[in-house]
Structure 1
Amino acid sequence: MANASKDQLFSLIKSLSKAEKRNFKLYVHRFESAGVSRKFIQLFDALDKLTEYDEDLVFKRLPHIKKLHLANLKRHLYKQILISLRLIFIQKNIDIEIREQIDFARILYGKGMYMQALKLLDRIKQIAIEHHQDILHLEILEFQKLIEARHITRSRQVKNKMENLLEESSRRSAVTSHTSLLFNFNIQVHGWYIQHGHARNEKDRQALQLFYDQNIPAHGPPGKLTFFEKANLYQAQMWYHYILLDFQACRQSAGAWVSLFDESPMMREKDPDLYMRSLYYLLVTLYFLRDQQAFGRYLQDFEAFFASHSEQLNANSRTIAFVYLNLSKLNANLLSGDYISGVQQIAGILEALPQYENNLDIHRSLLFFYKFAYLYFGSAQYDKALDYLNDIILLKHGYLREDLHHNARLLQLICHFELGNYDLLHYLVPAVQRAFSKAKDVSKVQRLTLQWLKKLADLPPGQTKAAFQEFQSQLAEAMKSPYEQKALLYLNVPAWVEKRLGIRANR
């Protein structure tokens, strides 16, 4: 029995909506011969009824299909499903629409109707320009040049027409190349964060600065850049400031990224994934800055966009919206300190989560679990917090970002301390110490917290307040370093200490 995730056809069929399945059957009945159509529908229906892929059960239900022919039939069915989906998505994706028109132009050209092909290319070129489809724009120009070079079109009778075409082609070629370079640079800076995490000291800052300066492509002022050139530049700048924990500068870059969609509103519909991604990272930055007013304003923008466009979003976009919007809503509760309202959202998220599992990275699921745990911790429901923390900790470490794993381990210890499970703390602390000793990225605040949790578990109740006061002083000293600010991003230990001391914490 093959696993469903390993069978591409089965996974594709299971991803289809009712409307897409209905469209496929109409497509097959219309374009295929009757005999082949019946085989397609029978195999399609048999796979659609399975809960997981079972090839033996397929042969049992379709005995007339020979094992020798199944692979070819599945391959052809896979192709036909994609073709039927293309007919639907062409109305939603401008790049698919433009490519289809380019294909039509090639058909006309192949029929010898090159003047008609040129007229069609002229028309779709304007659509490509309006929707910032730089690569397709260049492809159209290259096709126009090919026709002009090989046929008598009398274009030179129109003043400067050929010169304008060649100049436009050169300019678009340069823009496309520069956009690609900035896209590469964006991925490189993000990759630096994935590999190294936040800057931990001055040496890290200098290394990042050198890397950034050596790799950033030369570019003019943003006002002269195209939409996607600016989008990639702003993202790279955002990641650079994020790594350095400079959230004010990070906010400016993320805000400039979001503003691109204010300047070109149609791009919200044409590239909703990029728009939602820009909103999410601006919200994350505002969350770290504790700017509750601005956070609420942009969260309303996100919710309004999803409410008005949810029906037009494809499966991938709906997954992105589910993750980014719900994480942002949970962050809103953490930001305001309204843990009870946050806890009330958990059941709905858990109910919806299985719908997106096939398209959801495991890290995203565990990030939800960490938010759940933190909300339960904030509302003093420590046992429930531990349930989600254990799910994170028991997962193989390689699947997790190191900082999320460390924060989960420390929050687990704090929950046990709050529950008075001191004997269990003595058992768990050495395991955390071993994990920290092997880790590359453990902050001074995290090590100090672990040290004090071990000490606090041994103290009689009458001495804990004085110990917390001393712990608070040491934390304050450690937090003077700007590189320790990352310790507060997902686990605000100083706020917990203030709460234990009866001081109102500013979350």
Structure 2
Amino acid sequence: MAIEQKDVLFTLVKSLSKSEKRQFKLYVGRLGGNSEANFISLFNLLDKVSAFNDDLILKKTNIKKQQISNTKAHLYKQILVSLRLNPVHQNVRSQIREQFDFAAILYNKGLYKQSLKILDKAKEMALHSGENNLAYEIVEFEKIIESQYITRSLSNRADELSEQAKALSLRNTRISKLSNLSLQLYSLMLKEGYVKDDIDSKKVKLYFEKRLPNYKLSDLEFRERLFLYKAYLWHSLIMQDFVLSYKYSQKWVDLFENKPIMKKHNSVFYLKGVNYLLESLYLIKHKTKFNKVLENLNFDIQNKNIAINENTNTLTFLYYSQNKLNLYFLEGRFNKGIDYVKKLLEEIKQFEAKIDAHHIMVFYYKIACMYFGAGKNEECIFYLEKIINNKELKMREDLLCFTRVLNLVAHYDAGLDYDIDKLIISTYKFLLKMNDLHEVQRKIILFLKNLSNIYPQDLHKAFIKLHSELKVFENHPYEKRSFLYLDILSWLESKIQNVPVEVIIKQKAKELIK
């Protein structure tokens, strides 16, 4: 059986760029004897083939069966060593660790003064870049050296190091508590979803307040504030308080704008902060600000204001593309958005090995919404069915629910109503099983279920009636999210006014926050 992406060594080899492969060959070729080494033969084989198994290794190389496991392990380690030496993969943390290692070598040779000099520079770099854990390790090492080599030039050296260690320990403890809280809130959202009523709201508020450590904002440095704002952001998203989520995601991004060097030192955190800011702006429909933030993100990407590597390349594609789709939604430009979708689908193919299945399905949902807004219901159904038919996928419950509701509406709109009763029943059962049947969803399904009993001349009145029933939930604290995933009100207004839904949404877009 062929082993493809499941084999970690094969995956690693296939992830290498041309320059990384060239550097690896130069690295292992530094000793003449390596040219015929088994692990080089294995590397050359894996580089050429698109799939492999152990029989192929035995057939194409001189590696014996009992050598395969050790050869693969050795090759894996050598590739990682080579990548570690590549300047592309160097960052401030690796530079600090390298200096730490140099200091350890000098210490072992009894060259205490030289070791302390390097540690002092490394500590300054760590503190400047917010790497407090590394700074703490350095201080602890300095204490070990000072216990054997007292520098008479600084009589209070021991007290100074003790105070530094104490301050860094307190700071690291606070960072750990705040990062734990943000992670726990994220886990809570995955398990329980968004608050659905006042009881849920009180539970989440109590959960948050109980775990939030005491702090004085003026005492907090970059990394502490980052995790503080991250925790508040998750709390506000779970509570469906989108204005607060905008406030804290903006604070998150402002940390990086006020200290631009951190965009390179902590690029992933920066990109995630911008993505949450864009998501919050989309949820409150602040079109102008959304557009400006998206332009700033594109500027940072194009001007390499962030660290460029395969991880950040994937994240920039993911965040920029998803929010570009959201911009088309905000502006109501669905037909124009379809032109972008065609280009996007090609880009998704290029990144699909690096993007998890959940995010690809999120793309499919947004693409389906784009086609729905453009009145192309059959294309909309095509992408929705990709999600519905993926039985192994673990997606957010709210997206799974609205995928099926939109599928139901698209079938009706496309005139594919010959089997709609069965579709309604299966959708209703699914929503009940997911325990996420909101009042908005319930009313939509009930309306579609009764469509066959409505005379054609009464259909216009039925649309008006459903619109008035749903309109009251538009700003409801626990129901409003339904309209963010599926703009059913605009669809009803298009039926009432007998115009395309894109026309309705474009009219509303003109009235959004300037």
Structure 2-normalised TM-score?
A: 0.94
Deviations 1:117-165 (A, max 9, x none): 111101111111111111111111010001111x13324x424333222
Deviations 1:85-115 (A, max 9, x none): 0011576311011111101111111111111
Letter in 2 for 1:120: I
Deviations 1:289-345 (A, max 9, x none): 110000001000110111112895111111111111100100000110011221111
Describe the SS at the equivalent of 2:195: coil
Which residue of structure 1 lines up, in the alignment, with residue 139 of structure 2?
A: 141
Equivalent residues in 2 for 1:390-401, closer than 5 Å = 390-396=385-391, 399-401=394-396
Q: How many matched pairs?
A: 502
Q: Is the 8 A contact 1:287 1:295 kept in 2?
A: yes
2:432, 2:296 → 1: CA distance?
Answer: 44
Which residue of structure 2 lines up, in the alignment, with residue 165 of structure 1?
A: 161
Letter in 1 for 2:175: T
Which residue of structure 2 lines up, in the alignment, with residue 352 of structure 1?
A: 347
Which residue of structure 2 lines up, in the alignment, with residue 153 of structure 1?
A: 150
Equivalent residue for 2:110, pick from 112, 130, 134: 112
1:51, 1:397 → 2: CA distance?
Answer: 25
Letter in 1 for 2:151: R
| Higher relative contact order, chain-length normalized (CA < 8 Å, sep 6+) | 2
Quote how far apart the aligned CAs of 1:397 are: 6.4
Compared CA separation, residues 35 and 15, structure 1 to 2 (3 A): closer
Compared CA separation, residues 168 and 37, structure 1 to 2 (3 A): farther
2:349, 2:140 → 1: CA distance?
Answer: 46
Confirm or deny that 1:429 pairs with 2:428.
no
Give RMSD over aligned pairs. 1.7
Describe the SS at the equivalent of 1:174: helix
2:134, 2:17 → 1: CA distance?
Answer: 30
Confirm or deny that 1:377 pairs with 2:372.
yes
Describe the SS at the equivalent of 2:28: helix
Letter in 2 for 1:235: K
Which residue of structure 1 lines up, in the alignment, with residue 16 of structure 2?
A: 16
Which residue of structure 2 lines up, in the alignment, with residue 67 of structure 1?
A: 65
Quote how far apart the aligned CAs of 1:202 are: 0.3
Confirm or deny that 1:52 pairs with 2:51.
yes
1:29, 1:460 → 2: CA distance?
Answer: 81
Moved more, 238-247 or 474-483: 474-483
Describe the SS at the equivalent of 1:83: helix
Equivalent residues in 2 for 1:32-51, closer than 5 Å = 32-35=31-34, 38-51=37-50
Compared CA separation, residues 7 and 91, structure 1 to 2 (3 A): closer
Quote how far apart the aligned CAs of 1:37 are: 5.2
Compared CA separation, residues 90 and 21, structure 1 to 2 (3 A): closer
Confirm or deny that 1:240 pairs with 2:235.
yes
1:344, 1:490 → 2: CA distance?
Answer: 21
Letter in 2 for 1:357: E
Q: Is the 8 A contact 1:416 1:424 kept in 2?
A: no
Describe the SS at the equivalent of 1:399: coil
Moved more, 393-402 or 108-117: 393-402
Equivalent residue for 2:172, pick from 169, 176, 192: 176
Letter in 1 for 2:19: A
Describe the SS at the equivalent of 1:290: coil
Letter in 2 for 1:197: G
2:194, 2:481 → 1: CA distance?
Answer: 8
Confirm or deny that 1:206 pairs with 2:206.
no
Confirm or deny that 1:129 pairs with 2:124.
no
Quote how far apart the aligned CAs of 1:399 are: 1.3
Letter in 1 for 2:325: L
Equivalent residue for 1:197, pick from 189, 193, 196: 193
Report % sequence identity: 34
2:372, 2:464 → 1: CA distance?
Answer: 21
**Structure 1: 5+ residue stretches without partners:** none
Letter in 1 for 2:162: L
Structure 1-normalised TM-score?
A: 0.96
Compared CA separation, residues 422 and 91, structure 1 to 2 (3 A): closer
1:430, 1:54 → 2: CA distance?
Answer: 47
Which residue of structure 1 lines up, in the alignment, with residue 448 of structure 2?
A: 453
Q: Is the 8 A contact 2:182 2:227 kept in 1?
A: yes
Deviations 1:411-465 (A, max 9, x none): 1111111111222212211101111221222211011111111122443332211
